[in-house]
């Protein structure tokens, strides 16, 4: 290995390490802050990496007094339900767009993409009025408008993956006597599984992090999801940063576990539809 190549690899390694440090540092600092008292957070020890007097009081408060466990439960219900119905709708919609030829196909894809670009504030008012008339405020029916932020993205990702599945496989199955349903369930869907799985993870995370619709439709604390519950960790004149840090550390665990456990499937799904053959 030449000296120039060694220098390049060394410099590249330093850049990667610096980048990772910049990305990870905010999460690390939140975790450290969660063990500090209010005096340490704002006092002379604010920049200490190791707290002078570590405490679990912030965790005890958010877990047993501020109802963060209920918020986590609500987020799991909302995000899981949204993921299931969005993936079902997006899968059939993407398959139809990918396989069938019809007029306005490009326009339809453009409209789907345009919907995902609408600011949430634009739809919040009409959706609120609709929920008010139907009596759906303060309920888990909030999963329905979640499709405005998750369904367009899911359709676009899945169209790409269905386009990579050779049409000849379906034609061969049809010649062998397989019905349309058998072709979908035994050939198409198993081959598209990496893309479907990746889309499900992305949809789950998007629904987990949604804030505006929930805080508008569900004003009762019993239906607050994680982002909304964290936003209420404050008093009239201050924000309880220690409790916010502890709650953030707790609620990050589910998504972190999902990403770490299924990272291979996520990478496989993201890259499998990236090359045309």
Residue-level pLDDT at 268:
62
pTM: 0.83
The percentage of residues in the chain with a pLDDT greater than 90, rounded to a whole number, is 26
For 107-145, the DSSP string reads HHHHHHHHHHHS-HHHHHHHHHHHHHHHT-SSSGGGGTT
Would you say residue 273 has pLDDT above 60?
A: no
Q: Which comes out higher in pLDDT, residue 218 or 45? A: 218
The domains located in the chain, with CATH, are 68-272 (1.10.3720.10)
Would you say residue 245 has pLDDT above 70?
A: yes
Q: Which of 9-23, 94-108, 113-127, 261-275 has the highest mean pLDDT?
A: 9-23
Q: Which of 46-50, 104-108, 133-137, 147-151 has the highest mean pLDDT?
A: 133-137
The percentage of residues in the chain with a pLDDT greater than 70, rounded to a whole number, is 94
Q: What is the rounded end-to-end Cα distance, in angstroms, of the chain?
A: 36
Spell out the residues 6+ positions from residue 63 whose beta carbon is closer than 8 angstroms to its own.
69, 250
Residue-level pLDDT at 40:
85
Q: Kindly report, residue by residue over 52-78, the tens digit of the pLDDT.
A: 888 888 998 998 888 888 999 999 999
């Amino acid at each position: 290995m030449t000296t120039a190549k060694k220098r390049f690899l060394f410099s590249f390694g330093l850049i990667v390490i610096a980048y990772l440090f910049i990305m990870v540092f905010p999460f690390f600092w939140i975790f450290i802050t969660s063990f500090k008292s209010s005096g340490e957070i704002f006092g002379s020890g604010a920049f200490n990496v190791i707290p002078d007097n570590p405490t679990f009081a912030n965790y005890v408060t958010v877990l047993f007094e501020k109802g963060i466990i209920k918020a986590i439960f609500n987020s799991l219900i909302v995000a899981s339900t949204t993921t299931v119905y969005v993936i079902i709708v997006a899968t059939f919609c993407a398959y139809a767009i990918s396989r069938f030829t019809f007029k306005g196909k490009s326009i339809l894809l453009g409209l789907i993409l345009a919907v995902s670009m609408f600011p949430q504030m634009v739809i919040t008012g009409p959706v609120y009025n609709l929920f008010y008339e139907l009596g759906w405020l303060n309920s888990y029916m909030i999963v329905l408008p979640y499709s405005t932020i998750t369904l367009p993205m899911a359709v676009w990702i899945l169209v790409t993956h269905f386009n990579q599945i050779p049409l000849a496989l379906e034609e061969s199955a049809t010649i062998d006597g397989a019905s349309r349903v058998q072709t979908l369930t035994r050939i198409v869907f198993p081959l598209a599984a990496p893309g479907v799985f990746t889309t499900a993870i992305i949809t789950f995370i998007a629904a987990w992090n949604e804030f505006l619709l929930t805080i508008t439709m569900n004003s009762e604390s019993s239906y607050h999801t994680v982002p909304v519950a964290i936003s209420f960790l404050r008093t009239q004149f201050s924000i309880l940063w220690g409790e916010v840090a502890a709650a953030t550390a707790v609620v990050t665990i589910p998504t972190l576990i999902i990403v770490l456990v299924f990272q291979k499937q996520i990478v496989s799904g993201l890259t499998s539809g990236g090359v045309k053959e």
